[in-house]
């Protein structure tokens, strides 16, 4: 077991966004999260890497670190927790005044205080990995949306995280650019990265995932293999969602 989450809950004021979320993630597992807008998918992802503090919930990691969000925790534990993951955002979030190479180098140098020459070499390798070796000195405004997102993936990988998090990585892209980003993610799947992917690309989720979670109303309504959740869902809410999105032949 890489990570076990029990009883996770998160509210913003009176709005309960996550309610008693329970999920186990294995090392090397690809978990896709699907569901309607406003179901809590992005908030769940942000709780995984410390961008949001849960109101309650127990996180247990493979190396023995335990975080109980109902108790006061020291800063060191929170920092260690947040550094376990690398995040790829929906809207890229690149530094506009830095080149692609500088964007990838920023985290390891500033956050991890690593050697600049070593980081540069690794950043160049990562940009080549995502097909952007010839664009490393370009600024974000000189790149397409798909290229910017691939820089975002390289930037997250540069931190050498244990867990890769993707928040709807193709939703801001034109249809013709989606494939280039999904291809990069598929290559990472082959390398056995542990990944959690919030996506509306249902077919893609079916192809790459070991586990699919369907969320609605702040709950995980159903979870299982892609065949179990996407082809033979048990819950009526899952069936209705898939019928609207992908499978009009599913009887509701």
pLDDT in tens, 202-214: 999 999 999 999 9
Is the separation of the CB atoms in 94 and 151 below 8 Å? yes
pLDDT at residue 207, as a whole number? 93
pLDDT of res. 247: 55
Q: Which regions of the chain does DSSP assign to beta strands (E)? A: 3-12, 15-25, 30-34, 56-61, 66-68, 85-88, 163-167, 194-198, 211-216, 219-224
pLDDT, the chain, mean: 92
- pLDDT higher than threshold 90 for residue 177: no
pLDDT over 90 (residue 175): no
- Residue 137 pLDDT: 97
Tell whether the model's pLDDT for residue 104 goes beyond 60.
yes
- pLDDT digits over 24-71, tens only? 999 999 999 999 999 999 999 999 888 998 999 999 998 888 899 988
Q: What is the mean pLDDT of residues 81-103?
A: 93
Q: Is the model's pLDDT at 198 over the cut of 60?
A: yes
> What residues have CB less than 8 Å from 37, skipping those under 6 apart?
none
pLDDT at 174: 86
Q: Considering the entire predicted model, what is its pTM?
A: 0.92
User: Residue ranges per domain, the chain?
Assistant: 1-84+167-174+183-252, 90-161
Q: What percent of the chain has pLDDT over 90?
A: 78
Q: Which CATH number fits domain 1-84+167-174+183-252: 1.20.1050.10, 1.10.10.10, 3.40.50.300, 3.10.105.10?
A: 3.40.50.300
Confidence at residue 82, expressed as pLDDT on a 0 to 100 scale: 85
């Amino acid at each position: 077991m890489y990570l076990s989450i029990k009883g996770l809950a998160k509210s913003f004021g009176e709005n309960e966004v996550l309610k008693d979320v329970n999920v186990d993630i294995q090392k090397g597992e690809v978990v896709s999260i699907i569901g309607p807008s406003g179901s809590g998918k992005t908030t769940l992802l942000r709780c995984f890497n410390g961008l949001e503090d849960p109101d309650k919930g127990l996180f247990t990691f493979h190396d023995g670190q335990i975080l109980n969000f109902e108790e006061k925790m020291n800063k060191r534990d929170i920092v260690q927790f947040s550094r376990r993951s690398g995040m790829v955002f929906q809207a890229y979030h690149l530094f506009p005044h830095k080149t692609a190479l500088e964007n990838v180098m920023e985290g390891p140098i500033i956050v991890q205080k690593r050697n600049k020459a070593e980081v540069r070499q690794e950043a160049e390798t990562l940009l080549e990995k995502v097909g952007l070796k010839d664009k490393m000195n370009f600024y974000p405004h000189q790149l397409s949306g798909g290229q910017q997102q691939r820089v975002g993936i390289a930037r997250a990988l540069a931190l050498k995280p244990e867990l890769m998090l993707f928040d709807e990585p193709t939703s801001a892209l034109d249809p013709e650019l989606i494939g280039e980003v999904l291809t990069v993610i598929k290559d990472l799947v082959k390398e056995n990265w542990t990944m959690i992917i919030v996506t509306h690309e249902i077919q893609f989720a079916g192809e790459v995932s070991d586990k699919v979670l369907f969320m609605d109303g702040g709950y995980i309504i159903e979870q299982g293999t892609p065949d179990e959740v996407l082809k033979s869902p048990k819950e009526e809410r899952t069936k209705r969602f898939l019928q609207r999105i992908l499978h009009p032949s599913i009887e509701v």
